[in-house]
Amino acid sequence: MMKHPIYNEIVLSYFFNTKQADSLQGGSVLSAMVGSPAQGGVLKLQLQISGDQIKNAVFKAYGNAALIAAAEYLCETVIGLSIAAVQNINAADIAAVLSLPRSLFSTALLVEDTLKTVLGKRGE
Amino acid sequence: MFYENKPIYLDYAAETPLDPRVAAVLSAYLQEGALGNPHSVQHVYGWKAKAIVDKAAGQIAELIHAQPPEILWTSGATESNNLAIKGSVDFYQDKGRHIITSATEHKAVLDVCAYLQKQGYEITYLKPQSNGVIAIDELRQAIRQDTILVSIMHVNNETGVMQDIRTIGKITRQKGILFHVDAAQSASRLPINVNEMGIDLLSLSSHKVYGPAGIGALYVRQGVQLTPLIQGGGHQSGFRSGSLPVLLILGMGKACELMKADLSADREVLQNLTKRLWAGIQSLESVRLNGELSFLAPGYLNATFEGIDGDAFITALTNVAVSSKAACTSAAVTPSHVLIAMGLREQAAQNAVRFSLGRMTTTEEIDEAVKQITYVVIRLRALSPVWELLKEGKNITHYPWQVLR
């Protein structure tokens, strides 16, 4: 079987199964959108929070397959976790799980930045 | 696990499949032992090989309305472009050191020009109009007393945009300037007549005309002199030394013979298939055609789907083989110099996708490709925040993006 020259099976698997690509409405939903088309990536992340727990997480992403995969991975991972458990998730963690090469690390950074920005909106 | 083993091939601009009729000829030659150096003039093996090479030169000459001695064998269009440009401007440097080309040429022309610039030559890069076509008046105005060469490609490899070679050829001939044309793409799609078009040097590539890769040709008008790039045994009248690859030459010759016979039929089918593909793609909203249909050679569409990253599109399109000219897919891609020269914004250029069709493309394949493209575009737009903003009527260029790094 031919291997994709850039994306590994983990990345492709998330990229082709974007279950969390969606939008949420409502008062308990926090949203942030970070990045720009000129930079090659835009990520919109929405978290539905109840008390200290993340009930749901969805995203919309514009960018390469790694960004879309990383956003999907993050959303799947944070659902059901407490705020405390997710606020230290960083780009290195995401890159490690997805085995991202250095050239794609910026996509993990954008995911980290967006997560931090959303969480920063709590209590605003 | 995600990619089909034999996706629909819509990347003919990168390489055309070997025509089975060419494969049959090559196979027969290999079975016979493929022995004979065409430069061995003292025995029958050499004579046989020379006969094959001579016949192939005739087949290529016929395709472009040249004479067999005007055909020079090279390793491909890149070498042909190098030899045509470096070889001619070196030989004729006493007449002047100014070259005119265009910003949308292949890298094998642009990089040669950049090299020559360092050697003291002056280069004028004509910028095309937004449809990719060079304005003839601009070319006329760029000509100087010391202009020795004009190098303009016939059909662009990224967009399929055609240049008005015939008119340019008239001008260069009138002014006594050499005219080089990179015809790697056009040889499989448009008729070429080096005499009527006023061409002095013409680059051809075998694997763009359904022949084997690794061989190309340079047409050199009789009387035009070149300084050789490759010196050695003085083969090919000293223009390009090295033993000739008879097998590849045999294949390119057969491929050109078939091209001559099939060109007009191929063209008509291609024109219809390209129209069909464009109709299918166009029915998706917000698709930009990079180029203007009436100036495109049959078989090319370069398009940008708004709101979608080009890499994500190509990665998701598992059952259709296409390419984006942004050669690398990391976060730091360089957008196509061709599209930038046509005035596209960096983002639109970066996201452009090239579809190129050819002789083996079928109606069924186009219909299936349109289905797959439609599915991918709808899927990726559904998860694109940029598309969401576009649908809300927001101006993406002036949107207050939150950029943290």
The answer to the question of residue A124 being in a domain is no
Backbone angles phi, psi at B200, to 5 degrees: -100, -30
Element (H, E) at B87: helix B77-91
Chain A nearest C-alpha distance from B368 (Å): 20
Chain B nearest C-alpha distance from A118 (Å): 12
CATH number at residue A80: 3.90.1010.10
Burial of A52 (0-12, 13-18, 19+ CB in 10 A): exposed
Burial of B164 (0-12, 13-18, 19+ CB in 10 A): middle
B331 pLDDT more than 50: no
Using a CB-CB cut-off of 8 Å, the residues of chain B touching A4 are 2-3, 315
CB contact under 8 A, A103 and B396: no
CB contact under 8 A, B401 and A40: no
Task: Give the pLDDT of residue B319.
Answer: 94
The answer to the question of residue A64 being in a domain is yes
Task: Give the pLDDT of residue B328.
Answer: 43
Using a CB-CB cut-off of 8 Å, the residues of chain B touching A42 are 385-386, 401
Domain that holds residue A25: 9-119
B304 touches chain A (CB under 8 A): no
The answer to the question of residue A98 being in a domain is yes
> Has B328 been annotated as catalytic?
yes
B340 touches chain A (CB under 8 A): no
A116 pLDDT more than 70: yes
CB contact under 8 A, B383 and A43: no
B4 touches chain A (CB under 8 A): no
Task: Give the pLDDT of residue B325.
Answer: 65
Fold adopted by B20-260: Aspartate Aminotransferase; domain 2 (3.40.640)
Mutation pick from B5, B305, B313, B315 vs chain A, by most beta carbons of A within 10 Å, is B315
Class of domain B8-14+262-391: alpha beta
Segment B51-64 mean pLDDT? 98
CB contact under 8 A, B332 and A7: no
Q: Looking at the 3D structure of chain A, how many domains does it have?
A: 1
Task: Give the pLDDT of residue A1.
Answer: 63
CB contact under 8 A, B331 and A32: no
B369 pLDDT more than 90: yes
Rounded CA separation B202/B292 (Å): 25
B331 touches chain A (CB under 8 A): yes
Q: What residues does each domain of chain B span?
A: 8-14+262-391, 20-260
- Asked if residue B272 lies in contact with residue B287, where contact means CB atoms within 8 angstroms, the answer is no
Using a CB-CB cut-off of 8 Å, the residues of chain A touching B405 are 109, 113
- pLDDT category at B326 given cuts 50, 70, 90 is low
A93 touches chain B (CB under 8 A): no
Segment A35-58 mean pLDDT? 95
- pLDDT tens for residues B198-221? 999 999 999 999 999 999 999 999
Using a CB-CB cut-off of 8 Å, the residues of chain B touching A113 are 404-405
Which residue type, as a one-letter code, is found at position B347? Q
Segment B53-82 mean pLDDT? 98
B35, B51, B328, B383: which is the annotated catalytic residue?
A: B328
Average pLDDT of chain B is 95
B330 pLDDT more than 60: no
Task: Give the pLDDT of residue B334.
Answer: 79
